[in-house]
Every structure is written in C-alpha cells, then in structure tokens.
Amino acid sequence: MNIYGKTLNELENYFENLGEKKYKATQIYDWLYKKRVSSFDEMTNIKKDIIKKLKEDFVIEKPTIIKKLSGKDVYKYLFELTDGQKVEAVLMVHDYGKSLCISTQVGCNMGCAFCESGRLKKKRNLNTDEIVTQILLVEEDLNIRISHIVLMGIGEPFDNYENVMAFVNIVNCNKGIDIGARHITISTCGIVPKIKSFTKEKLQVNLAISLHAPNDELRSKLMKINKAYPLKEVIKAVKEYIEVTNRRVTFEYIMLKDINDSQKCAIQLASLLKGINCYVNLIPYNETSHIEFKKTKESSIMEFYDTLKKHKINVTVRREFGSEVKAACGQLRSNYEEGI
C-alpha cells in the first residue's frame, strides 16, 4: 500500500496497533509532506525496527511525469501511473495564487458531449495516493507552493467519493500538505445522492456544479447525467447544501457557440438560479480536434455576462489559459494515447 494514501488518523491507528505512540504518525507526515523525503531510510528520527515494519507494510511511490507543456501562466502535465494508465493535471498561475486542477479517475463514464475526458471511457478510479501525489509532483517539478486545488480534471470526483474525501483530509491536514479547505474546490456534474452525502460532511470545501445548460432538454443532450438527475433535483440538493453549510456554490457554464450561448439561455439561467447563494463561472470552450463544438466569440460571452448581471446573478468569466498546452480536460492524454 502506498503511504501517501493514508490519512493522519489512519496512521495513528496503525502505530497504536503496533503498540507504538500515535505521535509517530505526525513524524511520518512531517517527513513526507514538510521535508518531502522519497524513502523511509531518510526518516532519521524513526527507530530502525519501525522503519523495517513500514517498509514491509507500505511503499513511497509517485507517478512519473511523461509529458509537460507550458504556456503563459500555465503548465500541463501528463502522468503515468504504476500500472501504465495516464492522467493529467494543469497548474494555472492566477493573481490570487497558484491553482492546480487535478484528476480523480482514469477516464470518465459521465459522457458529457463536449468533454474530451469522457471520449476515452473510465478505466478505473484513482487511489487516494494517486490524487495526492499529483500535487507533490508539480510542486517538486516547479519548486513552488500550490495554494489552491480544483478537482476538475479527468473524471467525476463524486464517482470516486471515498478516495476523494480521504484526499481532502490529507491535503487539508495542517500536518500534511496543509491547503486550506476554502482553497479546495470539488466539481461535480450533478450526482445528487453524493451531493447530499457531501452536505453531511459539513466541510468548508467549495462545491462547484457543472451546469452548462439552463433547461432539462438542452442539458440532457449535452450531459447524460441529467437524465438520471434532472435540474430540479440538482437545484434542490444545492439549496439543501447551502442551507446546511452556509457556503456559496459555483455553477460552471461552458460557452458553446450556437448551443447554449443565446440571450434566451441567459434569461433562463438567471431564472433558474434566482435567489440562490451562488455565482456563475462562464468558461470559454477549449476546442479539440475530436469534438465538433466551437467556442463562443468573446462579444457573445460578454452579452451573456451582461444579461446575468442585469438579472442580479453574480457572474465571472474564466480567464483563458492557452490552447498551446492542449488545455481541454483529457486532451493531452487522448492525443498521447492515440499517437497525435
């Protein structure tokens, strides 16, 4: 088992079961996440018999960076996992900090029509350690400290719920990577039962909903998940989440030319979200060679933005991070797999 997949509490239980003091778990976390060692032998304040036991029970392993692309304020990574599967992460430099968008699955079964990730179907969930080590690898490669994490890469985070919750525990732990809960965002396409489970966690982690359409007819065409969990159910679950947590929710809305970018859609979206403590993040579409959707022109995005503003909806337009790094989610992986 990879030790990067263990929460602090789990390691404390491990040491107590060995008849050792649980503070040794904190020492291990310090070596892993503060000093960033790559072997148990480097843990010089841990007794040799414990080191021997750790080697028997755990490994310290990270994926391999097999491709890296860079553009203005953006770096995109392709990682190879120990079984040969591949996932991506994207580091974006904002004025508020360095944000890493990471993957939670190898492929995705949600099948959103506009998404490159879902074109290559889900192979498996990522283990907790495989999510955690994406952060460590990028920080190590660029010699930086990542300030924000977004679970919006390849995969549906709530389709890998238990591993994602363990990941949040590890990265938020002040003995671990120590990224504040309010600097962590989990994005879901709308798996209602898991939104309800997440509500019960009562975390300060941000919730984002991939919406992308203001009505069921259009959303069902773009996102298969809407047939299982239509907008009425998603919005109800979001309202319950806000009531319990008092947290504002983000609605992600990819702008697709002549599909969901009309003034009619903007008015419908404003009506759908009226009175909800939220903001809408309008996302310029990253075109790919495999999918026919096109990017909405900037002037139309701003007209859509203005309409939402007039209807008292908080809205932002996501800054674009160059197509030169194959920024579409899953694009670098699929091109690599297909030899492009």
Q: So which residues are the catalytic ones? A: 88, 329
CB 223 within 8 A of CB 212: yes
Helix (H, G, I), strand (E, B) or coil at 58: coil
Q: Which candidate, 234, 229, 228, 230, places its Cα nearest to that of 216?
A: 230
Neighbours of 322 (CB within 10 A): 15
Longest alpha-carbon distance in the chain: 69
d(CA 313, CA 307): 9
Q: Cβ(301)–Cβ(284) under 8 Å? A: yes
Q: At what angle do helices 231-245 and 192-201 cross, to 10 degrees?
A: 0
What's the rounded Cα separation, in Å, for the pair 172 and 226?
31
- Is residue 222 within 8 A of residue 213, CB to CB? The reply is yes
Residue of 155, 128, 116 lying closest to 335 (CA atoms): 116
Handedness of CA 173, 150, 4, 247 (dihedral sign): positive
Contact indicator for 123, 107 with CB cutoff of 8 Å: yes
For residue 318, give the DSSP letter.
P
